[in-house]
Chain A
């Protein structure tokens, strides 16, 4: 039998010193950004009942979840995301007078999806939700928070694409296509497969103007001018409302001077059964996957028994770290800290000096190998410290900056 005790399972990893320090710093920047904007942090359990994530309305496929049983034989999962647990909390733990609630989380999530390109089976997500607010102002607030969060990480070149799932749903209502045909068109538009969309639409008798618009959907992304090219006369009420909703949100973002980061993608039709209003994704150079995604999900909370509008996003910390690394923005650790060693008999003095530095907030560490000045200097350099102090028995000391 092969011994597995030397290995970690697929898709999880140890994060050692420098990257770990960098990750913590990144998380604290993000945490700070959320707090500054009035979001309250919460923590949810790593383990949840399978039923929380199961069913049609979730994003989670059965086969992508880590499953096991509790002592009563009930099915448990390692949480594949944190938005769904937050929806559970919103429906069951919060009181009516609490709303609206602005909350955020930073935590690890787990899924069996394909590895590679920075994707792991265990990954850290940071995200926020606004619960109990149905206004476009709340949606704009969440998009703005997404932009501010990306900026806080140090990524400068990025883009947020905004879509509206009701636009597609509205067009499909008008077209009279059947449910499975709609799903086929949705998949093709999602792939930007122009030819495929045309083949499906040719099988149906749809009004010319509407058909042209549906065929154009995969192309309807870019600057916000795209919204002006759409003629309201042929699209029906639901799609028209969706367009108005996007325009209002863009206006609010313009007032926040954030419109330069935003572009439009009306062909963004992924995860349609989860989102109910605007959807958005954040992109940057260096990684082939979005670094964040979010949107409005007004039906998710009702799955847990309370009718409540909700909107939010989550960001993949591992993706962000990879982007920063590829963009050469991972800062080198600062040389900092003092290494203190001593000759026999000077121990008390050395220890007192070390504690004094620590009390002042200067990183300091005491030698416990005691092999003399040269070895001490060598150690301090190896550990990235910037000074060395040696205490002699006669009470004198030698200070060296490194």
Chain B
């Protein structure tokens, strides 16, 4: 039997992902052992795991270097990879939003936005192109995006909003809602066909825990 390879997102998704995989009967002890090894295995079930930066998980899965991946919907939208998105795992919930100064609240339909700061340039571009039919200048930042409208770098931002506290404390408000975000399970298109039985069983075992 071939090994099925699962790519997990390093960071806040890791632990909850491991819980689900354990609940589905996989042995994740090696994965939890803080080992320096990059690839960890459950030899009994012929499954291998590795941790990767979230943005890289869809890449590994699209190319078939991993059969399955667990990754946030934000990353999937941003990367736009050709994958099967088979399960909404429900955790790590938040919203992808357009946010900006309070002055813009309620008048989004009348103003022209010219500059947008974001960690998600593709999502921002799609939103402004499709929904608002606007060609905007996208400024890619790596963090603390809320700062941009405060110092005059951009008119608005596109970012994940979980509780909205950071926005509030900086005098910003949500102006529009782009998408609901949560962790998803994705599968390579070929693996889904070539290892259909084993992957379907794993999907079912994980889905059963979600109810």
Whether the pair A290, B190 counts as a contact (CB closer than 8 A) is: yes
Set of chain B residues within 8 Å of A221, measured between Cβ atoms: 193, 196
Question: How many residues of chain B are within 8 Å of chain A by beta carbon?
Answer: 22
Check if A288 sits within 8 Å of B190, measured CB to CB. Answer: yes
Q: In the complex, which residue of chain A has the Cβ closest to the Cβ of B62?
A: A288
* A287-318, CB < 8 A from B: 287-290
Pairwise interchain contact B190-A117, C-beta atoms closer than 8 A: no
| Cβ-based interface call for A193 (8 A) | yes
Cα distance A290–B88 when bound, in Å? 25
Q: Evaluate contact between A287 and B190: CB separation under 8 angstroms.
A: yes
Interface positions, chain A 201-228, Cβ under 8 Å from B, are: 221-222
Whether A194 lies near B63 (C-beta < 8 A) is no
Residue of A116, A222, A289 with most partner-chain B CB within 10 A: A289
* Cα-based distance from A191 to B87 in the complex (angstroms): 11
Tell me how many residues of A have a C-beta within 8 Å of chain B: 23
Binds A, one of B8-16, B46-54, B78-86, B160-168: B78-86
Interface membership of B194, Cβ < 8 A: yes
Residues of A contacting B86 in the complex (Cβ-Cβ under 8 angstroms): 192, 194
What 0/1 readout, one digit per residue, does chain A (184-196) give for beta carbons within 8 Å of chain B?
A: 0000000111111
CA distance A193 to B86 in the complex (A): 6
Residue B189 lies at the interface, judged by CB distance under 8 Å to chain A: yes
Which chain B positions have C-beta within 8 A of A161? 193
Contact (Cβ within 8 A) A288 B63: yes
The answer to whether A191 and B84 have CB atoms under 8 Å apart is yes
Beyond A194-B86, A195-B88, whether A288 also contacts B194 by CB under 8 A is no
Cα distance A195–B90 when bound, in Å? 11
CA distance A110 to B188 in the complex (A): 25
Task: Name which residue of chain A comes closest to B59, CB basis.
Answer: A116
Which residues of B are found within 8 Å of A265, using beta-carbon distances? 193
Residue contact B85 to A192, C-beta cutoff 8 Å:
yes
The verdict on A381 contacting chain B, using a C-beta distance below 8 Å, is no
Contact A285 B62 (CB under 8 A): no
Given the complex of chains A and B, what is the CA–CA distance between A287 and B193 in angstroms?
12
> A159, B193: Cβ atoms under 8 Å?
yes
Give Cα A287–Cα B188 distance, bound, in whole angstroms.
10
Contact A288 to B85, CB < 8 A, known contacts A161-B193, A283-B193:
no
CB distance A192 to B190 under 8 Å? Answer: no
Determine the chain A residues whose CB is within 8 A of the CB of B187 once the complex forms: 192
> Which residue of chain A is the closest to B66 with respect to CB atoms?
A288
The residue from A157, A159, A195, A287 contacting B64, defined by CB atoms under 8 A apart:
A287
Chain B residues near A148 (CB-CB < 8 A): none
Does B194 contact A285, Cβ atoms closer than 8 Å?
A: yes
* B63 contacts A117, C-beta separation under 8 Å: yes
Q: Complex: how many Å from CA A287 to CA B61?
A: 11
Partner of A283, one of B2, B62, B85, B194: B194
Residues of B within 8 A of A222 (CB): 196
Measured CA separation A244–B196 after assembly (Å)? 25
A161 to B196 alpha-carbon distance, docked (Å): 12
Q: Which residues of A contact B193 (CB under 8 A)?
A: 159, 161, 221, 263, 265, 283
B88, A283: Cβ atoms closer than 8 Å: no
B189, A290: Cβ atoms closer than 8 Å: yes
Q: What residues of A have a CB within 8 angstroms of the CB of B65 in the complex? A: 288
- What chain B residues lie within 8 Å of A290 (beta carbons)? 189-190
Pick the contact of A192 from B2, B84, B191, B194 — CB < 8 Å? B84
Roughly how many angstroms separate A116 CA and B64 CA in the complex, as a whole number? 11
CB pair A285–B63 under 8 Å, yes or no, is: no
Is B64 within 8 A of A193, CB to CB? no
**Which residue on B lies nearest to A270, using beta carbons?**
B82
Give A265 Cβ to nearest chain B Cβ, in Å: 8
Given A117-B63, A159-B194, A285 and B2 contact (CB-CB distance below 8 Å): yes
Q: Does A284 contact B (CB under 8 A)?
A: yes
**B62 contacts which of A117, A157, A191, A195 (Cβ < 8 Å)?**
A117
- CB within 8 Å of A: which B179-211 residues: 187-194, 196
Query: Which of B61, B64, B85, B188 interacts with A191 by CB under 8 Å?
Result: B85
| Chain A residue with Cβ nearest B191 | A288
Which one of B62, B88, B192, B193 has the highest number of Cβ atoms from chain A below 10 Å of its Cβ? B193
Q: A222-B196, A283-B190, A283-B193 are in contact. Are A289 and B84 (CB under 8 A)?
A: no
Q: Which single residue of chain B is at the shortest CB-CB distance from A118?
A: B63
**CB under 8 Å from chain B, chain A span 136-158:** 157
A35-58 vs B, CB cutoff 8 Å, 1 = contact: the mask equals: 000000000000000000000000
Identify which of A116, A193, A196, A287 gathers the most chain B CB atoms within 10 Å of its CB. Answer: A193
A-chain residues with CB within 8 Å of residue B2 when the two chains form the complex: 285
**B129 to A: closest C-beta gap in Å:** 14
With A288-B61, A289-B64, A290-B190 known, 11 other A-B pairs at CB within 8 A are A116-B63, A117-B62, A191-B84, A192-B187, A221-B196, A222-B196, A287-B190, A288-B63, A288-B189, A289-B63, A290-B189
A-B contact pairs, 18 of them (CB 8 A): A116-B63, A117-B64, A159-B194, A191-B85, A192-B85, A192-B86, A194-B86, A221-B196, A222-B196, A263-B193, A283-B190, A283-B194, A284-B190, A285-B2, A288-B62, A288-B63, A288-B189, A288-B190
Closest 7 CB pairs of A and B: A288-B64, A117-B63, A192-B84, A288-B63, A193-B85, A283-B190, A195-B88
